[in-house]
Structure 1
Amino acid sequence: MEKIGLVRTRDGRSFLVPFILITSLFFLWGVAHSILDVLNKHFQDTMEITRARSALIQAVVYGGYFVMALPAGRLIRRFGYRTGVLTGLVLYGIGALLFIPGGRIQSFEFFLLALFVIGCGLTCLETASNPYVTVLGEPEGSERRINLAQSFNGLGWICGPLIGGFFLFAGGGDVATPYAVLGTVVLLIAVVFSRVKLPEIGQEAEKEEAETGKSGTSLWKTASFTMGLLSLFLYVAAQTGINSFFINYATENAGVTAQTASVWLSFGGMGLFMLGRMGGSWLMRFVKGEKVLAACAAGGLICMAAVIFLPGKVGWYFLLLCFLCESIMFPTIFSLSLRHVDKKTKQASSYLIMSIVGGAIAPMLMGFIADHISMATGFIVPLVCFAEILGFATRYNKL
């Protein structure tokens, strides 16, 4: 009888070791992203900048995804997944270490430059790691694999606000130390990856396709991919906007201090986020990914409506609950978008990672609304995003 596991193919081949190695990277970029949400509030207070201007922190990181996604995809298609991972780790490490001189200069623009370099590194890591996880086993297990790997990304999201909250709010505003430690760890991990060999799944098929010129159906004529691309853009916009202004909403509407809010963001919001991804990976053994996605998008809509119309403690509780609804969205949309792209996984992944630029837009728009109307009203942006994702999930089988 054929033995099939989460990372085992029908012919008995196991990808457990590469799966573990790649999954460790998901934790690293979770930390990089979540610490931004604390950094956002820190720069508002210490540099006396507006919420709209502080949103440039997310804009430059996610802008790095837009700039670097296609070059990263070409690099990976030519030299393989490991090269993409190594490039990403080196850029990530260098960008983090730039915070050491940045802490002395105390220039907002210099910090933005360092964050842009980090963003370019994260782009390479995600362009390589997300599609790689989906092919480390049988196709029908792709949603489960990527949700499980993304659970460790959720663990990184828990650690980021804790680290940032400790150093920035309780530790006297020390912005250099956490990034110096992070950069050193990342570069040490790069050394480890330089000494291991990752199997290149599907590399031969892609090379043959490139040599023969047979490309099959265009990606842009594959409806599940194009609609998934839009949905991923909007999901990252919603997630980044919610994370960026969680602390602002807590302090302005729920009467919570910034340091307390950062702890709640870590253990409350991100804890639910991680548990949701682990639970989602298990649930998708029995329920199709698109159905789970539809239920979560509907939940996100309800939560955002409560945040907007019930500002205060009640709205804040729904804001926390929204992290559970968000949990499975990114990996599930990503996997569903790749399901029908045949041998174009790496190329399609480049465009999907490029769509993460949505995270650069939503915080600026929400910050503008918050500065001119109210913080609660700004959450209409993620509400609209969740509405489109619900449409994608419910129509998926007809695309």
Structure 2
Amino acid sequence: MNKTTNKLALIPVMLCFFAMGFVDLVGIASNYVKEDLQLSDTVANTLPSLVFFWFLIFSVPTGVLMNKIGRKKTVLLSLVVTIISLLLPIFTENFPIMLISFSLLGIGNALMQTSLNPLVSVVTKGHLASTLTFGQFVKAIASFMAPYIAMWGASATIPSFGLEWRVLFPIYMVIGIVASLLLASTPIEEEILANTQKEEVSVTQQFTDCFKLLRKPIVLLSFVGIMCHVGIDVGTNTTAPKILIERLGMSLNEAAFATSLYFIFRTIGCLTGSFFLRVMKTRYFFIISVVMMALSMAGLLVGTSKATLYIAIALVGYGNSNVFSMIFSQALLALPEKKNEVSGLMIMGLFGGTVFPLLMGFASDTIGQAGAVIVMAVGVVYLFTYMKQVNA
């Protein structure tokens, strides 16, 4: 593949990163569903938890599937599933339909994150961490747009065709269709993988070999690190508006800005992070990021003013923005000959988006939103211990 083709291929790949960001609508969506259907925190938090549950089931099989059909075709399959998930809520908002929609959104995102990240290593040469970070920047744009679109729809400041906040589903569905068409029409030459040349290797053996990689310390520690990263991400996305409602008496429409603020600073973090990771040692930038997250947890735990809480939300947004890219690249670079398998295991770590919200739901129903913050703080403590695994 020549350099021109490489650059052209990055365009649909980055649009796919935008589609990857659709999964982050679950935070604000679960808050609106909670209000519309009068649900408890524990029940409402099953929606984002359900989305990320499918990463546990589908991530490793997707790594095996990529060995069979290639990364590009796997990404296209993920986009089709995502489009279907966005179609369903257009017709109704009842709880069973939302459960099905969020499940399909999780399945599609599991397929996409497992296959899209290693596809980046095909269309770009060098600077993998910074390119993945730029992809996360593009993803974050979709993430912070979702609360704004939902707020506009709910407040009738844009024509919502009776969908109110759910107008974000058809908007994102159209973008998903465009991403599918562009990627399908872009030629991408993938390297021949060792597993595709060994027809005698059974699927069962591929699964076994994949999970055996968890015996390697860097893979296992990175897996847990990604669980903590996404748990904090989904947790902040879901809990930040609830903290503002609890402590400042805001309405949901007013408090929804907290989710956008989080993603605005995640977006800024990804954009600036792609630069810092080129000029600064990854280890130093990782330490700075985790310290920012620790400060944010303190602010979210004890803050009672709008300024303190907004600063805390901004800090966790920026601090958490590059953690995924840094951990993911450490794992991929440690085992370059096992990119598909390592990618599957790392994306399976997004199962943390199921574990953390469930624990946070129980904690917040018991002692208020401070309980949810304490659960996230445990994840930050683990990331402190991961620092020594980050090289160069």
Q: Could you tell me the TM-score, scaled by structure 1's length?
A: 0.88
2:15/2:179 contact within 8 Å kept: no
Q: After superposition, give the CA deviation of every residue in 1:219-259 in whole Å (9 maximum; x if it has no partner).
A: 23432222111100111111111111111111111343322
* Residue of structure 1 equivalent to 2:102: 115
* Residue of structure 2 equivalent to 1:153: 139
CA distance in 1, matches of 2:300, 2:137: 26
CA distance in 1, matches of 2:185, 2:328: 29
* Residue of structure 2 equivalent to 1:272: 265
| 1:301 and 2:283 matched | no
| 1:95 and 2:85 matched | yes
| 1:207 and 2:193 matched | no
* Residue of structure 1 equivalent to 2:170: 180
Compute the displacement of 1:209 (Å): 6.8
CA distance in 2, matches of 1:58, 1:323: 18
Compute the displacement of 1:217 (Å): 12
1:70/1:350 contact within 8 Å kept: yes
Which region of structure 1 is more displaced relative to structure 2, 186-195 or 376-385? Answer: 186-195
Q: What is the correspondence of 1:123-202 to structure 2 with a 5 Å cutoff?
A: 123-139=110-126, 141-168=127-154, 170=156, 174-200=164-190, 202=191
For residues 220 and 312 of structure 1, do their structure 2 counterparts lie closer, same or farther at Cα, with a shift above 3 Å needed?
Answer: same
* Residue of structure 2 equivalent to 1:44: 34
The one-letter code matched in structure 2 to 1:367 is: G
CA distance in 1, matches of 2:382, 2:106: 26
The one-letter code matched in structure 2 to 1:111 is: M
| 1:23 and 2:23 matched | no
The one-letter code matched in structure 2 to 1:144 is: S
The one-letter code matched in structure 2 to 1:151 is: F
Compute the displacement of 1:14 (Å): 6.2
| 1:259 and 2:253 matched | yes
The one-letter code matched in structure 2 to 1:134 is: S
| 1:287 and 2:280 matched | yes
CA distance in 1, matches of 2:373, 2:320: 14
* Residue of structure 2 equivalent to 1:239: 233
Compute the displacement of 1:197 (Å): 2.1
Compute the displacement of 1:187 (Å): 2.8
* Residue of structure 1 equivalent to 2:222: 228
Compute the displacement of 1:117 (Å): 0.8
1:390 to 361, 372, 384: 384
1:379 is paired with a residue whose SS is helix
Which region of structure 1 is more displaced relative to structure 2, 167-176 or 113-122? Answer: 167-176
1:203 is paired with a residue whose SS is coil
The one-letter code matched in structure 1 to 2:15 is: S
Q: Could you tell me the TM-score, scaled by structure 2's length?
A: 0.89
For residues 287 and 117 of structure 1, do their structure 2 counterparts lie closer, same or farther at Cα, with a shift above 3 Å needed?
Answer: same
Q: After superposition, give the CA deviation of every residue in 1:286-327 in whole Å (9 maximum; x if it has no partner).
A: 212232112111210121022112344323431232111111
Which region of structure 1 is more displaced relative to structure 2, 345-354 or 290-299? Answer: 290-299
**Structure 1 unaligned runs (5+)?**
1-7
Structure richer in helix, relative to its length: 2
CA distance in 2, matches of 1:54, 1:216: 34
2:16/2:179 contact within 8 Å kept: no
The one-letter code matched in structure 2 to 1:149 is: G
Q: After superposition, give the CA deviation of every residue in 1:85-131 in whole Å (9 maximum; x if it has no partner).
A: 11001100111111133x1xx42122111110111111111111112
- Give the total of aligned pairs: 382
The one-letter code matched in structure 2 to 1:339 is: L
